Structure 1
Amino acid sequence: MIYTTLLNIAIFQGIVLGLIILKSSIFNSNSNKYLAYLLFTLSILLLNHVFQIEDAFTSYPFLRLIDHIEWVFLLPVFIFLFIINRIDDTVKSKQKFYLCFIPFAYSAILNITYDLDRVAGIYTIPESGIELIKILGLVQLVLAVTFIPFLPLYSYFVIRHLKDSQEKKWIIGLLTIVSLLLFAWLITSLIGLFLEYDIFPAMSVLALSATFIIHWTAYIGIYKYKLAKNKDAVYHFLNNDLAVSYGNLQIVENSTPEEYKEAITADNLYFKKLEVLCQEHHIYTDSTLNREKVAEKLGISPGYVSQIINTITGDNFAHYINQYRVEAVKEMITSSEYENYNLLTMGLESGFTSKTTFYKAFKKVTGQTPNEYKNTSK
C-alpha cells in the first residue's frame, strides 16, 4: 500500500534525522536535541498509526501499551523547549521546564495503570477503581484541551526574544506547522469523542501531514543550514561525513575525524570572530563563560566550537580561554595601575572562579606560579 509505504519512509527518516542531530557535533546543541526528540515522538505516533492500519494490535496486544500512551502531549513540549533553548539565558532561567512534562507523565501513568489490567492482565482493577480511572480520565481530557493549545501559543510569545531574523522566520514556520497539526488533532479527537464519529480517515490525513514536518525539517533544517549556521561545515558533513539519500534513505559512514578536521583552517570565519570576542570584548572575564555561551554568540553548535579550537590551536576550550585570562593577569602584574591589587583579585577579575583554578592554570601556561612570575617580572 503506497500510503503505508510513505508513512514507513517518514518514520525511518525521522529516526535517522533525529540521530544525525544528536550524534553530529555540527548539529548537536541544547536546543537541537529537543528538535530530535520532536522527530522521534512524531515517528512513534506514525508507527502506532501503521500498527493500527496493519491490525498489529490483534496479533501483538502488548503493543497497545505503547499506543495508549498519549505521545501527542510531548509535541508542544519539545517544540517549546527547542525555542526556549535558542534564546538568551535570562529568559531561560525564568522557565521551570519540568512542569511541561506533567501532562504527559500523568497521562502515561493513568493509561499504563489501566492497561496493566485490560491488556496485560497483571491484576484486576475493582469497580470502584474503574470509576476512579474514569474521573481521572476526565482530568486528562481537561489537560489536553488546555495544555495542548496553550503551550504553542505561549511559544509564539517567547519567540520574540530570538534576535536572528532569519532563524526566527524558520522557527516560526516550524512552530506554525506543528501547532496546526496539534489543533487539528485535538478538534478531530473531540469530535470523535462527543459525536461518536469514525475519525480514522481524518487521523490518516493528519498522519500524512505529520510526515511533511519530518521532510520539511530535513530540507529546511539541514539542506538550508538553519540548524547549523556554518554552511561550509554542513556542506562537508553532507558530502563527506554522511552520504544521505532521501530516495532510499540509506546512510553510509565513510569518513574519519581527521578528514573533518582538514576542513577547518586558521582563517575560519568563526575562529576569527572568537578571537575578536576575546581580544577586543574580553569575554573571558565572564567567570560563567562556557562552550554554550560562546556557541550562542558565534551562531554555531558547542561541538563545533570545540572542533574549531582543538583543530586550530591544539588546545581544548577551557585551556584556550584560560590562556587569555593568564595573559590578562600578566598584564595586571606589570602595570602600575594594579600594583595595589593582590594576585587572587587579579585572577578573579580576569575570569577565574577560585584560587585553585587560577594558580593551576597560571602554572600550566607560564610554568611559574603567579608569585614566581611577579617576582621575576620586577
Structure 2
Amino acid sequence: MIYTTLLNIAVFQGIVLGLIILKSSLFNSSSNKYLAYLLFTLSIILLNHVFEIENAFTPYPFLRFIDHIEWVFLIPAFIFLFVINRIDDMVKSKQKLYLYFIPFAYSAVLNIVQDLDHVAGIYTISDSGIGLIEILGLIHLALAVTFIPFLLIYSYFMIRHLKDSQEKKWIITLLTIVSSLVFAFLITALAGLFLQYDISSAMSILALSATFIIHWTAYIGIYKYKLAKNKDAVYNFLNTDLTLSYSNLQIVDNSTLQEYRESITADNLYFQKLELLCKEQHIYTDSDLNREKVAEKLGISAGYVSQIINIITGDNFANYINQYRVEAVKGMILNSEYDNYNLLAMGLESGFTSKATFYKAFKKHTGQTPNEYKNTSK
C-alpha cells in the first residue's frame, strides 16, 4: 500500500536525520538536539499509526503501552526548547526546562497505570479507582487544551529574541507548520471525543502532513546551514563526519575532505555571525569564553566552530579570540581615557586571565611586548 510505504519512509527518514543531527559534529548543538528529539517524536507517532493500520496491536497487545502514551505533549516542548536554545544566555537562563515535560510525564504515568490493568492484566482497578482515574483523565484533557497551545504561542513570543533575520524566518516557518499540525490534531481529537465523529480519515491526512514536516526539515535543514556550495559536498561531508559509506562502511577519502574544506569560505554564515559577536558584542572580554559557549551562541557544535576558524583563518580558536583581545589592548593604549590603567589591567579588561597569557599572546600577535608597544606608539 502506497500510503503505508510513505509513512514507513518518513519514520525511517526521521530516525536517520535525528541520528545525523545528534552524532554529526557539524549539526550537533544544544539547540539542534531538540530538533532531533522532535523528529524522533514524530517518527514514533507515525510508527504507532502504521501499527494501527496493519492491526499490529492484535498479535502484539503490549505495543498498546507505546500507542497510548500521548507523544503529542512532547512536540511543543521540544520545539520551544529548540527556539530558546538559539537565543542569548540571559533569556534562556530564566527558563525552568523540566517544567515543560511535566504534562507528558503526567500523561504517560496515567496511561501506563490504566494499561497495566486493561492490557497487561497485572491488577484490576477498583470502582473507586476508576472514579479517580476519570477525574485524573479530565485533568489530562485540560492539560492538552491549555499547555500545548500555550507553549506553541509562547514559542512565537520567544522568537523575537533571535538576532539573525534569515534564521528567524526559517524557525518561524518551521514553528508555523508544526503548530498547524498540532492544532489540527487537537481539534480533530476533541471532535471525535465530544461529537463521536469517525476521525480515522482526518488522522490519515494529519499523518501525511507529519511526513511532510520530516521531509521538509531534512531538505531545508541541510540548505539552511549552508554547509557546502553544492549537494554533493554536503552529502560527502555527512558521510565523512559519520565515517559511514552506504556501500561498505568505509571512511571517505582525502579528496572528499579537501572538497569540503574548500567549500568553507569567509562568507560562511556562522563565521560572519562570529565576527559580529566579536566586533559588536565584544564576547572576547569574557575571560571564561570557550568553544562551547561560542557554539551555543551560534547554534552549532563546538567542533564546527573549530573547523570554520581553522579553515578560514588558518589559526585555532584560542589564537583567534586572543587576537581580538590584543587589538582591544592596543586600542586602550592609544586611547587617552585609559591613561590611568596599567597594562595588566588593560589585558584583564580585554579578557585575558593572567599576566603570562596576556604578555605571551601580545608578543605573538604584535612581535612586541605590551611595554615595547606602548613606548613606540606614544
Q: Does the TM-score normalized on the shorter chain lie above 0.5?
A: yes
Uncovered stretches (5+) of structure 1, i.e. residues with no partner: 244-248
SS in 2 for 1:81: helix
SS in 2 for 1:57: coil
Post-superposition CA distance 1:317-367 (Å, at most 9, x none): 346435654786799899998786567644531214xxxx53674597689
The count of aligned residue pairs is 362
Q: Matches of residues 1-378 of structure 1 in structure 2 within 5 Å?
A: 1-222=1-222, 225-226=223-224, 228-232=225-229, 236-242=233-239, 254-255=251-252, 259-260=256-257, 263-264=260-261, 268-270=266-268, 282-291=282-291, 294-295=294-295, 302-311=302-311, 317-318=317-318, 320-322=320-322, 325=325, 345-352=345-352, 358=354, 361=357
Q: Which residue of 2 aligns with 1:246?
A: none
Q: Percent identity?
A: 72
Task: Report deviation, 1:161.
Answer: 2.7
SS in 1 for 2:206: helix
User: Aligned equivalents of 2:140 and 2:343: distance in 1?
Assistant: 60
Task: Report deviation, 1:72.
Answer: 0.4
Task: Report deviation, 1:195.
Answer: 2.2
Residue 345 to residue 120, structure 1, CA distance change in 2 (3 Å): farther
RMSD: 3.8
Task: Report deviation, 1:121.
Answer: 3.0
Task: Report deviation, 1:102.
Answer: 1.2
Post-superposition CA distance 1:128-172 (Å, at most 9, x none): 222212211110000001112222222222223333333222222
Structure 1: which amino acid aligns with 2:44? Answer: I
SS in 1 for 2:261: coil
Task: Report deviation, 1:288.
Answer: 4.7
Uncovered stretches (5+) of structure 2, i.e. residues with no partner: 241-245
Residue 365 to residue 307, structure 1, CA distance change in 2 (3 Å): same
Q: Kindly indicate whether structure 1 or structure 2 has the higher relative contact order, using CA contacts under 8 Å at least 6 residues apart.
A: 2
Structure 1: which amino acid aligns with 2:96? Answer: K
Contact 2:42–2:210 under 8 Å retained in 1: yes
> What is the TM-score when the length of structure 1 is the normalising length?
0.79
SS in 2 for 1:27: coil
Contact 2:29–2:296 under 8 Å retained in 1: no
Task: Report deviation, 1:49.
Answer: 0.6
Post-superposition CA distance 1:152-199 (Å, at most 9, x none): 222222223333333222222221211111111111111211222322
Task: Report deviation, 1:119.
Answer: 2.0
Contact 1:181–1:206 under 8 Å retained in 2: yes
Task: Report deviation, 1:295.
Answer: 4.7
Residue 107 to residue 305, structure 1, CA distance change in 2 (3 Å): same
